[in-house]
Chains A and B, each alone.
Chain A
């Protein structure tokens, strides 16, 4: 997780660095006395600007892919509840679970231990 978020941060930072570099090159091209070098600096500035746009595009695509994958990984939760005392517990959904399935007896009061709900829990995002 940390390596992928590091890569994502790098992809988000790269276009800004390229944009600043492009601006610096452009300013230099204005103030440079030698016309030939000034032209080269301008070209370098335009190229870096395109590079910044391209890096932004790549970064955004990678971010959207990661976001979609995170959403797809969102856990499905099974809520278990005692019909008698109301004690409840949550666990990950297992194949074969269904709402109102009796799964055993309550550890606290011995009442019927049933599945009271199953739902998709969105993954909490780490900021």
Chain B
């Protein structure tokens, strides 16, 4: 008995008999198969990678467009309407800052700081222009929305650029690299999209862990400005003088904590026993969100200038720096704060108290710096 499948294969694919017809069919099929394997395999691979990247690029375009729409919606809510403003926002989505030349590294951080200040000032004045009636906190949050929308737009444009370049040059190398990096790129884009949602509503984000810890320590105490957008409280704890600082909330801001620490150290003539820094840090895959870990060094993820100032001050006066980090993913750092991170903040507060009692002598001064974006966190 001939089975159905066998008969179909014989009848439809190989001619159904054992005469010359079958032989010709066999030759045709084998030729086609070999042609596919030897001559078109790379082309097929290229199509596969290209199709994957095209699909991802469409998703990125949707995210960038939805980001833009959300930005326009927020601006409209804050009283900024009209075609001119929409045009200005569309132009501003391609805003960029050129990094300073580093072939001659002398003074590169000073120059970088200057560019970063310029960038911030430009975004701030643009936001003030499109939403003049918004409060300071709303304008700061709008800045965060703007930054996230700019990042989404940039990611989409870069991916589209390489996709078109790969198609034009038929480069398997470009398309393959792009396709293989796509999961990470998509994750990053989704993180920025979630950040955009959190910033538009003024919700605290995971990166606000440092300011949350500082706020818990300084709540109810007198505050003073110690640097641009940085507030600090001084109080006694078990006979030690504690200075806690954070970016001024609840608007979206990271402030200049490096500048603040450097100024405080100088103000006290270098007589600072320790600097304790608290920040959110990227976790490795497999690690748990909200894990609290201790180490040494300046725990701050800025592009360089703020970290440099803290390290300089610490080296000049020989001050030890303790770092306490709370682990989280990039997406968690940029989206609304999770319960695990809120719980970790309480644990960090306890650790800081323990460090102060164990490593700082009575009568000595210690600085506690809560690093991160303080959106949705007051003091």
- Name A residues whose Cβ lies closer than 8 Å to a Cβ of B: 26, 29-30, 32-33, 35, 38-39, 41-43, 45, 76, 83, 93, 95-101, 117-121
Bits for B200-235, please: 1 = Cβ < 8 Å to A, else 0: 011110000000100100011000000000000000
Determine whether the beta carbon of A39 is less than 8 Å from that of B337: no
Partner of B11 from the list A39, A100, A118, A120 (CB cut-off 8 Å) is A39
Could you tell me the distance between the alpha carbons of A26 and B4 in the complex, rounded to whole angstroms? 8
Determine whether the beta carbon of A98 is less than 8 Å from that of B249: yes
Could you tell me the distance between the alpha carbons of A39 and B2 in the complex, rounded to whole angstroms? 10
Determine whether the beta carbon of B4 is less than 8 Å from that of A76: no
Determine whether the beta carbon of B4 is less than 8 Å from that of A99: no
Determine whether the beta carbon of A99 is less than 8 Å from that of B212: yes
| B257 partner residues in chain A, CB cutoff 8 A | none
Within the complex, the shortest CB–CB distance from A83 to chain B, in Å, comes to 8
Who on chain B is nearest to A30 by CB?
A: B3
Partner of A98 from the list B5, B336, B377 (CB cut-off 8 Å) is B377
Who on chain B is nearest to A42 by CB?
A: B4
Given known pairs A118-B203, A119-B336, A121-B339, the reply for A98 and B7 (CB within 8 Å) is no
Could you tell me the distance between the alpha carbons of A119 and B206 in the complex, rounded to whole angstroms? 9
Given known pairs A98-B378, A99-B377, the reply for A38 and B7 (CB within 8 Å) is yes
Q: How many B residues, CB 8 Å from partner? A: 29
Could you tell me the distance between the alpha carbons of A45 and B7 in the complex, rounded to whole angstroms? 14
Who on chain B is nearest to A25 by CB?
A: B4
Could you tell me the distance between the alpha carbons of A100 and B379 in the complex, rounded to whole angstroms? 6
Label chain A's interface by main secondary structure: mixed
Within the complex, the shortest CB–CB distance from B291 to chain A, in Å, comes to 17
Given known pairs A95-B201, A119-B342, the reply for A101 and B250 (CB within 8 Å) is yes
Is B50 interfacial (CB 8 A cutoff)?
A: no
Within the complex, the shortest CB–CB distance from B78 to chain A, in Å, comes to 12
Within the complex, the shortest CB–CB distance from B31 to chain A, in Å, comes to 24
Is B111 interfacial (CB 8 A cutoff)?
A: no
Within the complex, the shortest CB–CB distance from A92 to chain B, in Å, comes to 12
| B80 partner residues in chain A, CB cutoff 8 A | none
Given known pairs A98-B250, A100-B378, the reply for A35 and B203 (CB within 8 Å) is no
Determine whether the beta carbon of A35 is less than 8 Å from that of B341: no
Who on chain A is nearest to B6 by CB?
A: A42
| B3 partner residues in chain A, CB cutoff 8 A | 29-30, 38, 42
Is B376 interfacial (CB 8 A cutoff)?
A: yes
Within the complex, the shortest CB–CB distance from A7 to chain B, in Å, comes to 23
Determine whether the beta carbon of A38 is less than 8 Å from that of B4: yes
| B7 partner residues in chain A, CB cutoff 8 A | 35, 38-39, 42
Could you tell me the distance between the alpha carbons of A103 and B204 in the complex, rounded to whole angstroms? 17
- Listed A/B pairs (7) with beta-carbon separation below 8 Å: A29-B3, A32-B4, A76-B201, A98-B378, A117-B342, A119-B337, A120-B335
Is B27 interfacial (CB 8 A cutoff)?
A: no
Given known pairs A76-B336, A120-B335, the reply for A41 and B201 (CB within 8 Å) is no
Partner of A99 from the list B8, B201, B250 (CB cut-off 8 Å) is B250
Within the complex, the shortest CB–CB distance from B14 to chain A, in Å, comes to 14
Q: A39-B4, A120-B337 are in contact. List 5 more A-B contacts (CB 8 A).
A: A33-B1, A38-B7, A93-B203, A99-B250, A100-B378
Who on chain B is nearest to A99 by CB?
A: B377
Bits for B338-379, please: 1 = Cβ < 8 Å to A, else 0: 110110000000000000000000000000000000001111
Determine whether the beta carbon of B250 is less than 8 Å from that of A42: no
Could you tell me the distance between the alpha carbons of A41 and B7 in the complex, rounded to whole angstroms? 11
Could you tell me the distance between the alpha carbons of A43 and B377 in the complex, rounded to whole angstroms? 65
Given known pairs A98-B249, A98-B378, A100-B378, the reply for A118 and B4 (CB within 8 Å) is no
Partner of B202 from the list A32, A41, A43, A97 (CB cut-off 8 Å) is A97
Could you tell me the distance between the alpha carbons of A93 and B337 in the complex, rounded to whole angstroms? 12
Could you tell me the distance between the alpha carbons of A123 and B338 in the complex, rounded to whole angstroms? 12
The CB with the most chain B CB atoms within 10 A, among A32, A96, A98, is that of A98
Who on chain A is nearest to B9 by CB?
A: A42
Who on chain A is nearest to B12 by CB?
A: A39
| A101 partner residues in chain B, CB cutoff 8 A | 250, 378
